[in-house]
């Protein structure tokens, strides 16, 4: 604190002391907050929604605050946008590609609905973020590529429609690896490198790393990503979040820039298990434009949703299978389905995280069953489809075709030929459907979905996938298993420069292969739970997060949500940390309240007291002096000072004599 500031504070303290002695009813500068003398000071403070209250706020907490009238959806949207504008670029997080220009007006409409008693559900007025491969009407869908900067969506994706119908406000679109092609990083020429909020020298993984960074940094309440080979789960693991790749067909991919449509999924990422459940039950359901949801009968799979089944007792009686090799080795699968062992021991610090997680699961009621003799690496390798056709060119051409004249490109071929315009294809690794040349139009693109499977046109891998899905479900049923637990990564997120060694991907940047097969190539749900934090290495003193995977039976997301919720309640708050890169912002309302309270304290007329409570007044003087010296840019310090002064003020005012009734 400067000398000038110290002198000013000293003068305020001396003046206040004289006021307490004389009972002067004068007032210092007028505050913007209108103090209500008929209500307790502490109550008034608690009714102010502050930037501190926004930190790690859940859907239920925000809904309750809006219901009480302490905050509006429009105010929440602005508070989150303020955080994005303050931290995202300045702290090199680079999690956001664009802010929805209609977010505030959308929120105001929802506030109007609430005022007349129309509340659509738990997500009414809740700000969310979607990955920038989701179509959002009136905004660009870039998929991280400069080539699509002019692709202004004329309609919403199915997931966005569902979110809007539920009352959610899409406030921004998140950065991602270009065309969602990388699982270890989220880099695009549109948004730059997204960085891990817990250490900006490290990656948040990909391709939904922008969404993960944004939600971990409190830029929205829930985020939505896509997962083809790990793009929801890896970022959730590396950014201390709950995330799920749903059963293939539970959620629609209509209106989402594809990578491989037969594996693509949409799903939520959140700071709590219940918010993850809210997100999933909101976007799940059968879509007339997505026949994967029709084949899966998504409405039936969803049933009555998930949040109503959540309980602290959700793990009692649950049998969780585990795969020993996932905690001690890594294996890859060749094109022929053969497994190649690559022994790779996990970091000792990671082992401690795993032990804590297992202990919490057990305390909450889970029983562990070793499935290693049943689900051998050979068995898991056999779940990899024997043959699979390349679909990306066809999927992208169809997406371009569906957007008609609004799309700047008609084909992948045209997009690549105009690559000299500054488009980066390093992540794309494009291969023609026929393996030789790219098609000149969508109509001439070879269709890889040419096999009739149960009345649906699928690629040549789909029937194998359905059979393997049944095989996995059978194993779980025969062994009475509710979920299968495995460790995907054997080390915390690496530094950016460690991902490539001599031009080759560093093997240490990935762990076991289970997540790549059990979700994408079998279609069963795969959920990540945060295990907490681990110290890293001598190059970085910051603790980093990591998650544990849980695979369930096809369509049994309800059980996974129950496991997640009960686990979170047992593990407690220590598994979640707010990143140092994005603390609570300065709060004008809180500062205004403190000023108003200090004015009120200064103005107390002790002549109206039956007896001046000298001891309480002295305690209030101490609280006042601390409040006068508090740093107004630190909302946590301001709140503490305000609450202490409010308590002291309420105690003094409780001694005030009552007027006699006539």
DSSP 205-230: -SSSHHHHHHHHTTSSSEEEEEESSS
Residues facing 453 on adjacent strands: 456
* 89 a catalytic residue: no
For residues 97 and 427, give the distance between their C-alpha atoms in angstroms, rounded to a whole number.
Answer: 18
Q: Is the peptide bond prior to 207 cis by the omega test (within 30 degrees of 0)?
A: yes
Residues 528, 236 contacting (CB under 8 angstroms): yes
Can you read off the two tokens belonging to residue 549?
């995977």
* 145 a catalytic residue: no
Which residues neighbour 8 within 8 Å (Cβ) at sequence distance 6 or greater?
none
Residue 104: name the closest of 82, 133, 121 by CA: 82
Pairs from 119-123 (Cβ < 8 Å, separation ≥ 24): 119/167, 120/165, 120/166, 120/167, 121/166, 121/167, 122/59, 122/60, 122/63, 122/166, 122/278, 122/307, 123/59, 123/163, 123/166, 123/167, 123/168, 123/278, 123/282
Residues 288, 255 contacting (CB under 8 angstroms): no
Q: Which element (helix H / strand E) includes 631?
A: none
For residues 561 and 275, give the distance between their C-alpha atoms in angstroms, rounded to a whole number.
Answer: 10
From 73, 203, 231, 534, active-site residue: 231
* 231 a catalytic residue: yes
From 63, 73, 95, 131, active-site residue: 131
From 207, 236, 252, 651, active-site residue: 207
For residues 563 and 565, give the distance between their C-alpha atoms in angstroms, rounded to a whole number.
Answer: 6
Instruction: Please state whether beta strands 192-193 and 187-188 pair in parallel, antiparallel, or not at all (unpaired).
Output: antiparallel
Match 């749900």 to its residue by tokens: 525
For residues 341 and 326, give the distance between their C-alpha atoms in angstroms, rounded to a whole number.
Answer: 12
Beta strands in 94-157 (DSSP E): 96-99, 127-131
Q: Residue 561 in 3-state DSSP? A: helix
Chain centre distance of CA 30: 41
C-alpha dist (Å) from residue 212 to 12, 127, 137, 295: 46, 15, 23, 30
Residues tagged active-site: 131, 207, 231
């Amino acid at each position: 604190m400067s000398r000038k500031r110290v002198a000013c504070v000293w003068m305020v303290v001396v003046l206040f002391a004289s006021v307490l002695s004389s009972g002067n009813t004068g007032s210092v500068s007028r505050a913007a907050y209108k103090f209500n003398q008929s209500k307790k000071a502490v109550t008034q403070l608690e009714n102010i929604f502050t930037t501190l209250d926004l930190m790690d706020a859940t859907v239920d907490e925000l809904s309750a605050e809006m219901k009480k009238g302490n905050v509006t959806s429009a105010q929440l949207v602005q508070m989150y946008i303020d955080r994005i504008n303050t931290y995202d670029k300045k702290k090199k997080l680079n999690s956001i590609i664009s802010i929805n220009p209609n977010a505030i007006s959308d929120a105001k409409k929802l506030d109007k609905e609430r005022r007349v008693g129309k509340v659509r559900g738990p997500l009414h007025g809740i700000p969310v973020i979607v990955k920038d491969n989701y179509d959002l009407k009136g905004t660009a869908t870039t998929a991280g590529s400069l080539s699509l900067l002019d692709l202004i969506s004329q309609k919403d994706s199915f997931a966005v429609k569902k979110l809007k119908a539920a009352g959610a406000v899409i406030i921004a679109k998140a950065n991602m690896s270009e065309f969602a092609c990388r699982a270890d990083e989220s880099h695009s020429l549109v948004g730059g490198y997204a960085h891990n909020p817990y250490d900006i020298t490290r990656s948040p993984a990909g391709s939904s790393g922008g969404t993960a960074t944004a939600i971990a940094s409190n830029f929205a309440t829930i985020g939505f990503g896509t997962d083809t080979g790990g793009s929801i789960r890896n970022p959730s693991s590396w950014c201390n979040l709950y995330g799920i790749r749903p059963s293939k067909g539970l959620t629609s991919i209509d209106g989402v820039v594809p990578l491989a449509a037969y594996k693509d999924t949409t799903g939520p990422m959140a700071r709590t298990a219940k918010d993850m459940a809210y997100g999933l039950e909101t976007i799940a359901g059968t879509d007339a434009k997505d026949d994967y949801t029709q084949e899966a009968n998504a409405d039936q799979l969803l049933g009555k949703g998930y949040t109503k089944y959540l309980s602290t007792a959700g793990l009692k009686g649950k049998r969780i299978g585990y795969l020993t090799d996932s905690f001690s080795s890594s294996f890859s699968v060749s094109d022929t389905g053969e497994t190649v062992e690559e022994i790779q021991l996990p970091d000792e610090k990671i082992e401690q995280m795993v032990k804590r997680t297992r202990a919490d699961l057990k305390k909450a009621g889970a029983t562990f069953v070793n499935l290693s003799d049943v689900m051998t690496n050979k068995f898991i390798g056999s779940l990899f489809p024997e043959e699979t056709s390349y679909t990306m060119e066809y999927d992208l051409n169809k997406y371009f075709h569906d957007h008609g004249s609004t799309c700047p490109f008609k084909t992948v071929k045209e997009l690549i030929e105009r690559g000299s315009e500054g488009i980066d294809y390093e992540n794309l690794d494009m291969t023609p459907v026929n393996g030789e040349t790219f098609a000149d139009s969508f109509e001439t693109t070879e269709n890889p979905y040419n096999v009739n499977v149960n009345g649906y046109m699928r690629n040549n891998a789909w029937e194998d996938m359905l059979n393997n899905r049944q095989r996995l479900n059978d194993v779980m049923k025969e062994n009475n298993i509710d979920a299968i637990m495995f460790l995907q990564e054997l080390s915390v997120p690496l530094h950016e420069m460690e991902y490539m060694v001599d031009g080759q991907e560093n093997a240490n940047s990935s762990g076991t292969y289970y997540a790549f097969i059990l979700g994408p190539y079998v279609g069963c749900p795969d959920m990540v739970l945060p295990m907490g934090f681990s110290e890293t290495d001598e190059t970085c003193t910051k603790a980093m997060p990591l998650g544990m995977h849980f695979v369930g039976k096809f369509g049994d997301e309800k059980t996974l949500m129950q496991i997640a919720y009960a686990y979170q309640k047992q593990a407690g708050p220590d598994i979640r940390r707010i990143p140092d890169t994005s603390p609570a912002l300065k709060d004008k309302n809180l500062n205004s309240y403190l000023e108003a309270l200090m004015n009120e304290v200064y103005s107390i007329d002790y002549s109206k007291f039956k007896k001046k409570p000298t001891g309480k007044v002295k305690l209030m003087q101490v609280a006042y002096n601390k409040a006068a010296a508090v740093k107004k840019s630190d909302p946590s310090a301001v709140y503490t000072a305000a609450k202490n002064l409010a308590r002291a003020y309420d105690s003094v005012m409780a001694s005030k004599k009552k007027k006699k009734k006539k």
